[in-house]
Chains A and B, each alone.
Chain A
Amino acid sequence: MIEKALKGSSIYWGWVIFLLCIIGAGFIAYLYQLKVGLGITGMSRDISWGVYIAQFTYFVGVAAGAVMLVIPKYLHHYTKYAKVVVFGEFLAIAAVVMCLLFIVVDIGQPMRMMNVVLHPTPHSMLFYDMIVLNGYLILNIICGYNTLLADKKGLPCPGWVKPFIYLSIPWAISIHTVTAFLYAGLPGRHFWLTAIMAPRFLASAFAAGPSLLVMILLFVRKVTKFDPGEEALQNIARTICYAMIVNFFFMGMEFFTAFYSNIPGHKATLEYLFWGIGEYGNLVPFMRACIVIGFAGIFILLVPPIRRRPLWLAIGCACIFLATWIDKGVGLVIGGFIPNPLEMITEYHPTFPEITIATAIWAVGGLILTILYKVAISVREEEQRV
Chain B
Amino acid sequence: MSMDRRKFLKVAGLSTLIGLGGSGAFELLKPGKVDAEMEHEGHHGAHHGAAHEKGEEAGPKIRLAMLIDMKAITKEKAEKIIHTCHHLHNVPNWGDPKNEIKWIWEEEYEHVFTDSYNEYDEVLEKLPFLLMCNHCDEPPCARVCPVEATFRRPDGIVAQDYHRCIGCRFCMAACPYGSRSFNWLDPRVELKKEMAQGRKLNKRFPTRMRGVVEKCNFCVERLAEGKKPGCVEACPDVMHFGNLADENSNVRKILRERVSLRRKLELGTKPSVFYLV
Q: Which of B114, B165, B185 contacts A343 (CB 8 A)?
A: B114
A341 to B148, CA, bound (A): 23
| B172 close to A (CB within 8 Å) | yes
Hey, what's the 0/1 contact readout for A10-45 against B, CB within 8 Å counting as 1? 000000000000000000000000001111010111
In which size bucket is the chain B interface?
Answer: 35 or more
Contacts of B115 in A (CB 8 A): 265
Contacts of A346 in B (CB 8 A): 97
| B246 close to A (CB within 8 Å) | no
Asked if B210 contacts A108 (CB within 8 A), the reply is: yes
Asked if B211 contacts A38 (CB within 8 A), the reply is: yes
Q: Which of A106, A188, A344 contacts B168 (CB 8 A)?
A: A106
Asked if B170 contacts A45 (CB within 8 A), the reply is: no
| B98 close to A (CB within 8 Å) | yes
Segment from B81-89, B175-183, B199-207 that makes contact with A: B175-183
Contacts of B166 in A (CB 8 A): 107-110, 112-113, 115-116
With most chain A CB atoms within 10 A of its CB, the pick from B131, B168, B178 is: B168
Known A46-B97, A186-B144; contact A119-B167, beta-carbon cutoff 8 A: no
| A336 close to B (CB within 8 Å) | yes
Contacts of B183 in A (CB 8 A): 37, 108
Asked if A124 contacts B143 (CB within 8 A), the reply is: yes
Closest A residue to B163 by beta carbon equals A112
Beta-carbon contacts under 8 Å, B196-230 to A: 209-213
Nearest-Cβ distance from residue A77 to partner chain B, whole angstroms? 31
Asked if A45 contacts B176 (CB within 8 A), the reply is: no
A341 to B170, CA, bound (A): 15
| A220 close to B (CB within 8 Å) | no
Beta-carbon contacts under 8 Å, A64-79 to B: none
Segment from A125-133, A135-143, A319-327 that makes contact with B: A125-133
Asked if B172 contacts A187 (CB within 8 A), the reply is: no
Beta-carbon contacts under 8 Å, A89-115 to B: 103, 106-110, 112-113, 115
Nearest-Cβ distance from residue B97 to partner chain A, whole angstroms? 6
Hey, what's the 0/1 contact readout for A184-218 against B, CB within 8 Å counting as 1? 01111100000000000000000000000000000
| B112 close to A (CB within 8 Å) | yes
Contacts of A46 in B (CB 8 A): 97, 178
Known A45-B99, A116-B147, A119-B164; contact A39-B185, beta-carbon cutoff 8 A: yes
A121 to B186, CA, bound (A): 28
A123 to B186, CA, bound (A): 30
Contacts of B182 in A (CB 8 A): 38, 45, 48, 108
Known A37-B185, A108-B167; contact A125-B97, beta-carbon cutoff 8 A: no
| B140 close to A (CB within 8 Å) | yes
Nearest-Cβ distance from residue B150 to partner chain A, whole angstroms? 11
Contacts of B209 in A (CB 8 A): 109
Q: Which of B110, B111, B169, B175 contacts A108 (CB 8 A)?
A: B169
Beta-carbon contacts under 8 Å, B63-104 to A: 97-101
A165 to B241, CA, bound (A): 59
Asked if B173 contacts A45 (CB within 8 A), the reply is: no
| A223 close to B (CB within 8 Å) | no
Beta-carbon contacts under 8 Å, B239-277 to A: 264, 267-269
| B107 close to A (CB within 8 Å) | yes
Contacts of B144 in A (CB 8 A): 124-126, 182, 185-186
Nearest-Cβ distance from residue B41 to partner chain A, whole angstroms? 10
Closest A residue to B107 by beta carbon equals A342
Closest A residue to B185 by beta carbon equals A39
Asked if A126 contacts B146 (CB within 8 A), the reply is: yes
Nearest-Cβ distance from residue B175 to partner chain A, whole angstroms? 6
Closest B residue to A34 by beta carbon equals B211
Contacts of A49 in B (CB 8 A): 169, 173
Closest B residue to A43 by beta carbon equals B184
Known A121-B145, A186-B140, A187-B269; contact A109-B212, beta-carbon cutoff 8 A: yes
A124 to B140, CA, bound (A): 10
Beta-carbon contacts under 8 Å, A315-354 to B: 336-337, 340-344, 346
Contacts of B173 in A (CB 8 A): 48-49, 186, 189, 336-337
With most chain B CB atoms within 10 A of its CB, the pick from A110, A118, A124 is: A124
Beta-carbon contacts under 8 Å, B129-171 to A: 131, 140, 143-149, 164-170
Contacts of B107 in A (CB 8 A): 342
Hey, what's the 0/1 contact readout for A285-315 against B, CB within 8 Å counting as 1? 0000000000000000000000000000000
Asked if A121 contacts B148 (CB within 8 A), the reply is: yes
Closest A residue to B266 by beta carbon equals A187
A158 to B80, CA, bound (A): 73
Closest A residue to B213 by beta carbon equals A108
Hey, what's the 0/1 contact readout for B3-18 against A, CB within 8 Å counting as 1? 0000000000000000
Asked if B177 contacts A188 (CB within 8 A), the reply is: yes
Contacts of A342 in B (CB 8 A): 107, 111-112, 114, 131, 178
With most chain B CB atoms within 10 A of its CB, the pick from A38, A108, A113, A336 is: A108
Contacts of B143 in A (CB 8 A): 123-124, 185
Asked if A340 contacts B178 (CB within 8 A), the reply is: yes
Q: Which 5 A-B pairs have the closest CB atoms?
A: A108-B167, A188-B176, A108-B211, A39-B184, A126-B146
Besides the known contacts A45-B98, A48-B172, A48-B173, 8 further A-B residue pairs in the complex with CB atoms under 8 A apart: A44-B99, A46-B97, A110-B166, A116-B146, A185-B144, A187-B174, A188-B267, A342-B178
